[in-house]
Every structure is written in C-alpha cells, then in structure tokens.
Structure 1
C-alpha cells in the first residue's frame, strides 16, 4: 500500500485518534488545548447542532474526500466518532437521517441534554407538509431560537414547505424552511398548522361539550372549551394514569391542548370492557389483518355487531382516535349500554369540582363505586352498608347532584349522594382480627414500621428486605388498606400488606421522570425512572403514586407518567427471536428506529451488548450454541444484554438500521464465509518495487492462494476481484456489507523506504461497529502470518483505512512486507512466499474462529 508520509514514525499516526492527543502530542499543545479536547470528547456519543448553513458532509475526515451532502444551520446530528487528520483539523463522524459522514468541528456545537428527540414528535410530524404563515409577518432566523440573526421577513399568508423540525432548550418547536432561495428557521407558533403527516391528524367533530386542558388529566389548567359541532384536528392519543383516553388537538391557531376522547364518541351503541388481552382486526374474522392489540381492562366504544359465516359474533369498535376495527365478542365480559339520549343522562364530568372534606357512611345494602362522577362510568368496586369514607372533593352532574370522590381498595372512586349519608365524624375504630401466629418475610425494600395503622403515625423503624416477622393482629382501615400488626427485630408496630405481597401491581414509565420523597414536585428527588421502566405500585394519593423503583428506592411520582402496558422505546431491542437464514441459526432483534449499538467481549465466549438502550427483549426459548442470556439494568436506567456461548460455538454480530443479528455457528473454519480483497488493480498498480514488482500482482496472487487454502478447509470464499480489474473502495466494502459473511481480509504490500521491513495487520474500532471482533481477528492473523513467512513483526495497529472503517463485518488490512525494500520485494515476487503468506493467514483465521 502506498503511503505519502515523511517518516516511519508518522506511518502509524497519520490520523491520530483524539483519545491519544493528550499523551502523544507535544506538551505545549497539550497545555494550550486541554480544555478544548475535553469539549471535543464530550460531543462523541451525543447530539450536536450545525452553526452554519451549507456545511459539507464528506466521506472522510478531510476536504480531499468526496462531498456526500450539505446541511443547514440548526440541524441536529448524532456524533459517532472523531479524528484529527494530517493537517491538524478536528473532524466528527455524524449521523443525520439515513446518512453518515464527516463534518469539520468548526461548524458543530453541543446540543444540551434538555433537547431530546422525543420532545420533537409534534414538530417532526409536520416535516414534508406545506403550512401557511399566520396573522403577522414572520422573521426567519439563522438558528432555532430568537437569539439568532434575522435572515428574512416572510409575509402573512405565505405557504412554506417544512424541511425539518427542532425543539430547542426552551421547548420551543421551530421549523426549517426555504424562502426566496434562503433557508432558515421560523417558530412553529407563527404558522397556521393544519393536519400533520406523521401523526393521526384526523379531523373530528365534537359531540359532547367539554374542556381542553394543557395536559392529559383534568388536573391541568383549562385552556379552552370545545363546543358541540366544533371540528378539531386530532394529532395523537394518550391513556393517563387514571386509564382515561385523551387526545391532543389544535384548538386555535398554533395552539394545542388535550381533550377527553369521549368528546368525539358520536355513534357508539354501547361500551364494553375487555376481559382479556385481544387483537383487533380490519374485518370480522381472524383472517383479516391485525391492526391493534387491546389489553385487559380497556373500555371500548361499540358501533355495531356482526355474526360471520363461522357463527362467531364480532363487534366493530373504536380502538384508537378516528380508527375503527373488529374484535371478537369473546374479548368482553359484559355490556354497559350507553343511554340513547346522553345529553340528559351524562353528568358534566368534573367540570364543577368543589374541594371540601366530607365524612360519609354508606346508607344502602350495596353501593356501586364508579371510575368517574356519572352513571356512564365503569363500576370499579362496591361498598356495603355502614362502610365509612372521607371525601376530599365532590363534583356536580347535569342534574346538580353530588358525586363524592373517595379512596377505595381499587384506587380513586366516586359515590353518588343517594347511596351515602353525611356524618359528623368517621368511626376510626375498625375491627381488629387477632393473628394466629403466622410468620412472614418482608418482600419490599425500605419497608416502614408504623406506630399505628395509618400513614400519618410515627415511623418506628425501617425494615430491610427479607426481614422475618410474626403477625399479632390484622385490620382493614377506612380507606381499604389491610394493616398487619407485627413483631420484627424486637419491635412491634404496623405495616401495610403491600410490604409482604408478592403480587403488587406493576406499571411502566411513559417518559424520563423524577421520583420524589413526597407527593409533591417540591419534595426531595430520590430517583429517576425512564421510558418503559417497570415500577411497583404501593398506593395512590391525590393523583400521585407511591412506588418502588427498579433500583428498589421508594418515592412518589405523578400518576400521569405511568401506564399499565410497557411502551416501546425507539431506542430498544424488541421482538427477540430465533430465525434460520441461508441454513444458519440466528438470534434477531428488531429496532424501532435507527440508532447505534455497541458491544464488548469481556471474556472468552461472553458477549456484552449495550448503547443507551432503554429496553431489551430477552429471548426465552433455548438457542443452540447459547449457554445463557441475561438482561441487566445499569446506571442511568439503561439495559445491557449478556450472552454466554457454549464452548464449541462462536458468533458473528451485525448491526443494521432496522435490526440486530447474531449468527451462532460451530467453531472452526468449516461453513464460515469470508471476503478476500486483493488491493489495487488495473490502472492502479499500487506501490512498485525497484525491480518492477507491482503490488497489485502480489495482492491478487496471494488472494487466490488464500481462497484455495480456505475452501480446502470447508469455508465459502468471495474475491472482490479475481483478475486485473479496478474497483473503487466503496465497491469493495459493498460486497461484504450486502452479504451475510463472517470476515473481510484486504491484502496489500507496504512501501516506504529501502530499509523499511516487516509485516503489519491493521484494524479499525473508532468507526467500525465490529471493532472488538476486528481486533481479535487482526491479532490472530498477525501472529500466524509472521510465523509462516518469517518477517519482522511490526504488530497490530489501529488505522482508519476505508475498507476497515466502512466495513460492517470484522475486517483487517494485511501489509505482507515492504515492496520498497529490495530483499522483501524479492520475497513478495516469489510464489513460495505468497503460498506461505496464504497458509499463515488461513491459520490465523482458523484460530480466530476457534476462539
């Protein structure tokens, strides 16, 4: 391989990785740039913003590389790696949309942690649509805040195509647009926003007047009232912690809010509650396409029923905002018919809330307790004669009758005024049941032992998990909590039964949220949960939930950030499964979005996969060649997958845009698939020795000998070239990247001076996903190649050669010997040396696949 460099010392550091600069650069440089280097390193693995327009993205870290595309100011990119090139310039490898390339550091700045991809959902959904400037002329700026300079003023009524969207650190959504040949950023508030491309964007008519709120519970501020007959654009839906379905709507120009989905339910004939997890189909048999999966406990609006040819009864339901499908009747347990004239029967749900503490006693034999203040709400539980409650608030319905909100064993519930009596004081002496000497063990972490059977009494001591105790007595308090009077660690006191209950309900985080020491956002922070984080629900209080986090810390979190079903994170590995592809066994995970994955090899036969993953779906079935598989949560709430392989098996791992695959195969060369790349060719002779030996000829002959060696051992081999032809570097890597092969070997001859000597094997780990496997491959080949040909061992070195850097599979570049050295040129020209080199590389590959 030809190198244009000044000395053999520089030969190994033409592109010096930034993590080596502080130790290898001159001391003057290190002293003057240490702070800069810290900032540079912090960008890698994070988001960054473009600070200028028309910045070129190139194939490599320098202006001599071809331009891939141009990007504009304000655009956010993911930073994958960094390099300092031979000119001393700092370049970053970035990912934007589906493109990867290199940008000089001068035009990038860090995007703060407050800017998250998840916050741009509403803005991103408008990308590609045409929107109109609203009621006043709008200023287009060079970046996505008002701090950037104005580059144009756009008149009222101008229609613009939305090129991109970005949410800045102030949570303002800005749109990237082009006006009169100039590109820039305009605040989304200045547009009249119509239906979006990426969200539901269904225009629906309000049939039940209700209020619009800032968030998806009625605890949020009312921002408007939706009157009957009003048509609203619906963007997305959300089920809150109270199991209420809310939808996001545009209620005024540039303004969005949240409204109960019941505002649009105009043609339902009944409501039904799903009694088991069931699928919704596009037609009334299971042969039709599955369009949704509905979990147990969800209430659906029924529009019509139908009995198909197989005598199965099916219902047409609304399963999402503006979307209808068919579900079998077997999914339901009972029907609660909606009155024909809801305007006379349906109360105004929580529109007239009065905060007032009232002591109540049930005055009928059995009283229904509903999920909301009206008879159309579901019955969540029942109470019996003389049961007592303390209500903190009540709501009045359309008949001006009161519904009292109380706490039941099933959470918050509502009682109608006709089934209760108001009393002066609640009897606080519940019946105590003596214990019968049973013993138990504390199952929760950080359990509290109270002086009395209520949460307001003094805490006597904390009881660690697995503490043994004896039950002295039991009682059920007025709020439905079961309390146990116990003796533990020499102390006597009371604990709620969730401290010993194995079946505590589990909910999941809908976003990154703070866990507080009390039921208030002003309380001390004790932990953080993330999207899909599972938490144990202990009790509820005024819209807050007392939980135990995955790290076994206890605290309070708002109910609105929890859901009953774990949401799918865009940065997760889902649908873990086994597949047979081309006759070989694979483990496969789907990726909901494009993101980077990293792996390491902590020990022989062990693979560790990580990379800011919120969730990993573990494969539960037995996998041939896999001894064990385990998903662990680590610091920051991210997931790590640990796979231990059987001693007689190895693997090849590939990271695609939409999936991660691991091919599990027996050890050894037999059955392995290998790409051999003979460097240079045709018009590109490579380096030429003093006696006229051409590098391209050495490379091709050695590659052909190596192919014969590998095929004799049972491997499948593809040559990038089998004759004297010219291939671009990208053509060579495309051969391996589009294949299911296991390794890539590029063969070259080195050139520098007449005294330079020896053999070197190069790999890349700064860019190549398969860096860890590439390093193992390089070490194995270098050891056996040097042993076979008897040359000076120059070692294994990291480098950024294109065929290594841009390869998706384990890859190395071998420099057989120096063609610029007359002695080694003579060796390279001989058939015996080429055959020995091929045998050495084959042996190295064999040892690699036996590791």
Structure 2
C-alpha cells in the first residue's frame, strides 16, 4: 500500500509539472526592473510576511535575477531580495536602441507631443535629417530633436543604426570612481553581452571617461572599455568645469540624515534640518551626493531636496523667431482676438517673422511690412520663441492616476483567435500604446504587467488599490463559438462606476466604428473586488476571421486607444 501511495504521489507531481509548469523563470542578463512606487520593501523570501532586507525608491533601477509567480528577485548592491512584480516595471539595464537613429523621409514632418494626431505639434523636422531614436509604438516613433522629445509618424521615418547620441568620451568630464564589487568584469562594449577583456578588483580606483546608459567608459590595458556603473562608487566629481555641474538646493525635510553612500544601507554620518543650504555634486538613482557645512560630503535622499533655479536672464517678449502656418486658409487678424477683422489669409507652410507675443497670439510682420496677429495655438514656431498651446483633452488627464490591466499573460494565453493569435499578446499591444498616449498627456500611468508574465486577478486588483487609481481599465479581446459574432462590449460592476463605462464606451464606438454591444453590468473579479473606478473592455472578437484581421492592424490599435483616451478625458471633465 505504502509503495503504491509513493507511486501515485510521484505521478501526481509529474502530471502537475506538465499542467502547471514552475513559474520561476530565467531572465536575460541585461534585464532590470524600475521601481514604480514611492517606497518598496525588498524581502528575503517571495512573501509579504518575510523579513525586509532593504527598501528601494521610485525610479531606481536594479538588475533582475529571476521571477517566481508574482514576485521578482532583484539585486540591490551586494544583496538580493524579492519584490512584488506589480510594483515594478521591467526594463533593460542597457538600452538595445542606444545606437539607433531615425532618418526623416518627408519634408516639414510634424513632431507631436504624443503618439497620435490629436496631440499638439511641438516641432518640425525636414527630409534627410537624422534625429535621435528613443522608442517606437505601432504607427509612431519617439525621437529627440533640438533637445525636445516628440513623436513622428512611422510612415515618414526610417529607423537606422546611425548613432546620433553625443560621444561619451569627453575627458573634460571624467571623474574617479571606486569599484565596489569583489571582481568587476571589464567589457569590450556597453552591454552584458560584450566580450570580457579583463577585470578590476574591489577598492580599485578607476577613471571614468564617459557614460552610456548604465555603463561607464574607462581606460583599461591601453584600450577603452566598459564596466557596469552599478558597481562603481563616485569618489570625485569631474575635475574641470566641476563648478558648472554643481547645483544649489534646500532641504525640505524637518530632519534629513546624511549617509556614507547613496542607499538606506549607508552609515549615517550627519544630519540636516529644513531650510539648510547644500550643493549637489552628484546624483545616482534618487540619491544626491552633497557638500554641506564647510566642505563636508555625504549622500542624502534626493526627494527631500528642492533645487534652486539657476540665475538666468528672462527672455524678451519679442524673442526672435518665426511662425509656420499649419493649415490652409488660416486667418490673420487686425487684433489679438477672434472677433477682430481678418486682414489676410495664409496657407500651410507660410512663414512670418514674430514681432512679439500678446497673450495667446503672435504679432507678426506681413510681406508688405505691416503688422498683424495670428493665433498661437494653430501655428508652429521656429527660433527661440516659446510655442503657444491651448489645453485640449490632456488638461483633464494631467495628474490623473490610471492603471491599465492587459488581460491574461504568461501561461494564461486568454482566447485564441482564428489565426492562432493569443489574446494576451493583443492586450499588451493595446496597453502599451494607450499608456504612451496617457503619459504624453501628463497622466500617472501604471501597468499591471509590462511583459508576458502571469499575474493573478488579486494581484491586478491590488495594483489598482495600491496606486489609488482614478480609473482602472482591464483590456480584453472576446471570443465565442459562433464565428459570426462581432463588436465591442464594456463592463462595470459597481453602479457608481457606470459613468466611467458609459464615457469610455461611447468614445470607443465612435472611434472604432465596430458593432456596439452596449455597456453591461457583470460580476468579474477585477471589477467586483475593486474599490477604485473600474471597467473591463472587450475590444472586439478574435473568433471572427474578418474582425480579427482588423483588430491586429496598427490602424485599429490607433483608433481604439484614441477612443479610450478621449473617453477618459470626457469622464474626468464631467466628474
């Protein structure tokens, strides 16, 4: 009997391993996580009852060691510990796009503040120019041009491997660092995949020549090489022009500890009170190295410092520049208001010299030498004059906390479309584009998962509660045995959340033109257990062959996310 029981148990274990594979996953060496909450506990074991190893802060980035269910193991200095997966965002410790450039294929291409034609124009770029690549999403590429970040249509841009990132080898900004790892690999390129060309030991002083991402460029054995910045502690600031790199700041906490290193594990070496003046000489993660009290140095939590604005000369009201007309038939008026007479009309691409700025209007010089006015929110500018924009939908989204829940993930693939497409992949695409649109509007956006990871329903709700979401959106794609069924449905549970469902659904139907399957009340877990305003969106049927093709297109993703974006803005406007 005992032997039979052992066999049964063994078979059960084997069967369970097939049905429910272990959720502890290997990760790439370059993977990291960025903390997405103010203070996050790092624990000895993947459990909320386990002892706290240390604490980390919002915005800090740490190497990812492994995953286990809803927990991630990370490395903090020389320690390792576990954090809740829904309180961090996965990223790469080294950007794989560091050497990418974007070549512009159209003349006077509009650069927008967000990924969508509803976002304001912040600049123009011209054909054959190459600009810095940041990221891309569906139909849009995020670039950096003249110090501004913005989005351009992917249709008119070609991503290449031409780096436009400024060289990091300027020795005038070099500084000395001390190795903190027992043995730190020196690599041929700024990547964990770079060839190991040597090593440096703990306590060894190295001269840092430049930085790319989270990697420091150093001189090693008569060649330039790279080491991970995580294991190098700054011991001196740039030798030349260091004064220009320093920033004055004021302590905002009633009592602020000064530590020996930029971490809560650092030894307390001093204390400062509110109003104390300090000089910031270096910043790492959310920590600042400061000079205080007659030359003393130490590290403090950067979020308790308020930087003083550098003394600058205020720009004149008649700062030089030009306006560029964006639309044919644009009115040019005699005074700076819409009720004054029209003295001329301009077409797309026409350029006029700016004389001065009057409220939201530019005073411009016409070709005949006369002066007139043009509305600042319907033109773009070149030169040093500040662009004028009138708030649109973004004014209602700015500062709002929105949690986006891409349905399914990991071993839970969700519905499977006619073509074999997994629902979990489609919801992730939609979530990423929607997140970029909302971030561009100034919203605080949190995703319950940022990659193909399994997350329990409870974990999704906890994310909503933790961030005190102003709106929680669970994104899904529908499936049914009847392949003729099509359309979009929006669900809510609590009666008080119906306004959110109505606003988003109405805008979504208007934008996507899919069949309207109405707003319905349903007891889904992520809605029923959610204290925050919450809805679940079924964005179309992947069980219908024609609709699945539509849903997979970048055009549909654009229209769906724009509909949700506008629906949220309408909801917040009326509440």
Structure with the larger helix share: 2
Using structure 1 for the length normalisation, give the TM-score: 0.21
Using structure 2 for the length normalisation, give the TM-score: 0.31
Which structure would you say has the larger RCO, counting Cα contacts within 8 Å and 6 or more residues apart? Answer: 2
